Amino acid sequence: MEDRPGTGRLFRSLHAQGAGDAIVALDPADLVTLRSVSLRGDDPLAAPDPQWDPDFEHLFAPADSDADPKVTVETAEPAPEPPPLDDPEVQSTPAQAAHTGIPAWAAVLTVFGATILIGIADVVVTGNLGWLTGIALVVSAGYAAATVRPADGYWVIVSAPLAFLATTVTVGQVTITGGGFFVRQGLLIPFTLGRNAVWIILATAVAAVIVGIRRRRLLARAH
C-alpha cells in the first residue's frame, strides 16, 4: 500500500493546539477590529490592546447594568402667555383696524347735525350765520374724522363744506327778506359762503389732516 501524504488542518484557531504548520485563521493585526475575540495568555502572536478612536469609543463601551435605562428627552420651553384680549395693540389686525370706528353715515350725520343745530342758535343769537356756526363746523368735522372708520375718512372731508352749504340753504333763509326766491338764493348763498370761507376751509383742512394721520399710522402697522 502506497503511502499517502500526511494531511493536517489547513487553518487553525489562534490558540488551537497542534497543527503548528497550519495557517492561522485570523491575522493578529485584524483582531483589534473584532470585539468578539479576546486575547489571553502570553501567546507571542497576541495583538496589543486595541486603541479606539475617541470619536467612536462610546460605541464599544461596555453596557452599565446600573445605568438608568430611561432616555433623556429634551423638553421645549413653555410658550409665552398670549397678551390679554383687552390690549389695544392686539384687539384687531391692520385689516380689521381699517374698519374700526363709526360708519360713514354716522360721521356725516354728526357733521351735518351739529352744523345745522348750531346754525339755528347762531341765527337766533346774532341774526346771521357766522363764527358760531363756523366753530361748530370745525369741531364736528374734527371729531368725525377722529372717530370714523379710516377707510371712510374721505366722507368727512367732503361733508364739511357740504354741511355749511346745507345750513346756508335751510337755516339761512330767515336771514334775508324781499325779492323773489331765486333772487334771494342768488344773494344768500354766495355772500354767506364767502363770509364764512375761512371756517369752511379750516374745517376741511382739519378733517383732512386727521384722516391722513390715521391712515398713515394704519399703513405703518401693516408693514
pLDDT in tens, 58-98: 666 665 555 555 555 555 566 666 555 555 544 455 555 55
In the numeric block, which cell numbers belong to residue 49? 490592546
107 & 170 share domain: yes
27 & 120 share domain: no
pLDDT value at position 90?
46
Any domain includes 89: no
113 & 186 share domain: yes
Range of the domain at 182: 97-222
Any domain includes 67: no
32 & 108 share domain: no
Any domain includes 165: yes
53 & 108 share domain: no
Q: Exposure string (b/e) for 60-86, b if CB count within 10 Å is 16 or more?
A: eeeeeeeeeeeeeeeeeeeeeeeeeee
Give the DSSP letter string of the chain: -PPPPP---SEE-TT--S-TTSEESS-GGGGGG-TT----TT-TTPPPPP---TTTGGGSSPP-TTS--PPP---PPPPPPPPPTT-TTTSS-HHHHTT-SB-HHHHHHHHHHHHHHHHHHHHHHHSSS-HHHHHHHHHHHHHHHHHB-GGGHHHHHHHHHHHHHHHHHHGGGGG--SS-HHHHHHHHHHHHHHHTHHHHHHHHHHHHHHHHHHHHHHHHHH-
Q: How many C-beta neighbours within 10 Å does residue 12 have?
A: 17
Question: What distance separates the 2 farthest-apart alpha carbons in the chain?
Answer: 166
Any domain includes 175: yes
Quick check: 157 and 207 in contact, CB under 8 A? yes
Any domain includes 92: no
177 & 128 share domain: yes
pLDDT tens figures, 120-179: 999 999 989 999 999 999 999 999 999 999 889 999 999 999 999 999 999 988 888 777
24 & 128 share domain: no
Quick check: 131 and 118 in contact, CB under 8 A? no
In the numeric block, which cell numbers belong to residue 8? 493536517
Q: What is the model's pTM?
A: 0.56
211 & 130 share domain: yes
Any domain includes 44: yes
Q: How many C-beta neighbours within 10 Å does residue 219 have?
A: 12
Number of domain units in the chain: 2
pLDDT tens figures, 3-39: 554 545 555 555 555 555 555 555 555 555 555 555 4
107 & 198 share domain: yes
Any domain includes 80: no
